[in-house]
């Protein structure tokens, strides 16, 4: 029988206390070794993840398990997170980092390796202990991930209990863990986020994705098509920041569809064909068909009555309407993208916003392919999301150094998505930063002068 939640919390607090005197170099060594061990076991863990969950694409999961450790470590290695992290003589301010304590991380079946790793690396950077409560569907793969990191910690002379995993990940155990930890990282459904915020513990939740992407009239269609294959097909479309709705200029429809096909997509334009996909992707209740979530494109096509090449990564479906009128405009969690045309650019922006408001994904991520600065700013000012990806695949929202976003396995959606943070959850969100301040030799403002009129 596994440890109770209370016993795990006690062990985690003891582990935090055991490293209370660690300096920055000692902490960074633990972060590095955690990343290194997952990198070395990337293929093995990827195989386990796909076999256990039935979600995603093996080769893409290998890339996740190699790129995430490398990117996270490259980002974290030079950051100060222990003791005094900043001094500003001009303002007389000294900033000091303090651990949060025990962090509860609720992780999804879609990323059973890198989400536990990423959460731990950010938490460990601040001298915290982490307790993972995995998705039941991914329990074995997540447990192996945690075991590998625990072994790495012990080899460094650190307590293994800086990272633990709940052996019986039930909803009651998840709720108990969230209520007894010092901070919660909840990566998953809207219901999970709501539960995290209702736990009574400070929490960072993540809302659902459903990114709309606009192709502007001035952008190279071939380049956009190639990047769209990546944005839609990565890990069989189970990424929350994967491209789901693609909007293109009406008069360029043939060029766009030809470019998509040249890039390797299978495109269905006929309404009857599209209806067959709609029927198998969604149940009569309107909810996604769980049997097809995260499956390969040929598997989904066969379920709809079509045979397509086994090498196909992405299927594009032409829809006639956006928003709630068509379930294909919702987050599908598969290598599927809905496509439709627009007349004016302003119309495209309105369509993107309406789709998020009616079909989900508000607050998460959106994309645009354009060289028109006015259009880019117009879009960015209006679309209600925390991240707008310009001329790049929307999954780059996790911050793989191809942009200035910080590497993250949890992407906050702000108040739009019922989240406290509009941005990527980072190590800085897992430490308490206090400020020691000297008095300033300044003249206080004179209210009579300020408000004279």
Residues annotated as catalytic (active site), given as ranges? 240
**Facing residues of 245 across strands?**
212, 338
CA distance 330 to 285: 14
**Which of 167, 143, 169 shows the shortest CA–CA distance to 48?**
143
- The answer to whether 183 and 101 have CB atoms below 8 angstroms apart is yes
In this structure, are residues 355 and 204 in contact, taking their beta carbons and an 8 Å threshold?
no
Determine phi and psi for 96, rounding to 5 degrees: -125, 130
CB atoms inside a 10 Å sphere around CB 303: 17
Does residue 286 sit in helix, strand or coil? Answer: coil
Distance CA 275, CA 338 (A): 12
Q: What angle do CA 202, 100, 135 make, to 5 degrees?
A: 60
Tell me how far apart the alpha carbons of residues 363 and 355 are, in angstroms, rounded to a whole number.
Answer: 12
Nearest to 311 by CA among 260, 264, 273, 259: 264
The vertex-367 CA angle with 365 and 372, nearest 5°, equals 140
Beta strands, E only, 107-240? 129-133, 163-165, 183-186, 203-205, 212-215
207, 363 Cβ separation under 8 angstroms? yes
């Amino acid at each position: 029988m596994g440890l109770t939640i209370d016993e795990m919390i006690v062990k985690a607090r003891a582990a935090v206390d055991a490293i209370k005197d660690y300096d920055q170099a000692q902490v960074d060594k633990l972060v590095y070794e955690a990343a290194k061990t997952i990198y070395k076991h990337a293929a093995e863990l990827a195989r386990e993840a796909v076999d256990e969950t039935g979600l995603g694409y093996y080769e893409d999961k290998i890339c996740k398990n190699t790129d995430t450790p490398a990117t996270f470590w490259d980002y974290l290695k030079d950051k100060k997170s222990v003791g005094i992290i900043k001094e500003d003589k001009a303002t007389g301010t000294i900033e000091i980092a303090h651990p949060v304590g025990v962090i509860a991380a609720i992780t999804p079946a879609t990323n059973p390796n890198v989400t536990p790793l990423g959460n731990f690396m950010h938490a460990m950077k601040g001298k915290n202990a982490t307790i993972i409560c995995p998705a039941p569907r991914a329990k074995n793969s997540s447990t192996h991930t945690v075991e590998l990191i625990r072994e790495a910690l012990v080899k460094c002379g650190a307590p293994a209990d800086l990272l633990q995993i709940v052996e019986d990940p039930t909803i009651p155990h998840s709720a108990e863990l969230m209520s007894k930890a010092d901070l919660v990282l909840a990566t998953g459904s809207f219901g999970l986020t709501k539960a995290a915020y209702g736990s009574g513990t400070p929490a960072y939740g993540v809302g659902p994705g459903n990114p709309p992407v606009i192709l502007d009239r001035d952008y190279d269609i071939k380049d956009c098509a190639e990047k769209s294959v990546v944005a839609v097909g990565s890990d069989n479309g189970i990424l929350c920041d994967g491209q789901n709705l693609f909007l293109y200029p009406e008069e360029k429809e043939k060029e766009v569809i030809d470019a998509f096909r040249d890039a390797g997509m299978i495109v269905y334009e006929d309404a009857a064909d599209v209806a067959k996909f709609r029927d198998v992707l969604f149940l009569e209740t309107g909810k996604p068909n769980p049997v097809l979530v995260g499956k390969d494109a040929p598997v989904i096509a066969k379920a709809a009555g079509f045979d397509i090449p086994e090498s196909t990564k992405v299927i594009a479906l032409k829809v006639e309407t956006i928003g709630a009128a068509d379930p294909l405009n919702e987050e599908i969690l598969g290598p599927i993208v809905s496509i439709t045309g627009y007349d004016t650019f302003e119309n495209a922006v309105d369509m993107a916003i309406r789709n998020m408001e009616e079909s989900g994904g508000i607050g998460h991520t959106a994309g645009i392919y354009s060289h028109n600065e006015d259009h880019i700013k117009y879009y960015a000012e209006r679309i209600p999301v925390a991240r707008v990806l310009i001329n790049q695949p929307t999954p780059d929202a996790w911050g793989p150094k191809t942009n200035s976003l910080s590497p993250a396995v949890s992407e906050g959606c702000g108040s739009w998505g019922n989240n406290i943070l509009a941005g990527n959850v980072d190590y800085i969100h897992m430490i308490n930063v206090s400020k020691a301040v000297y008095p300033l030799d300044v003249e206080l403002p004179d209210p009579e002068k300020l408000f004279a009129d």
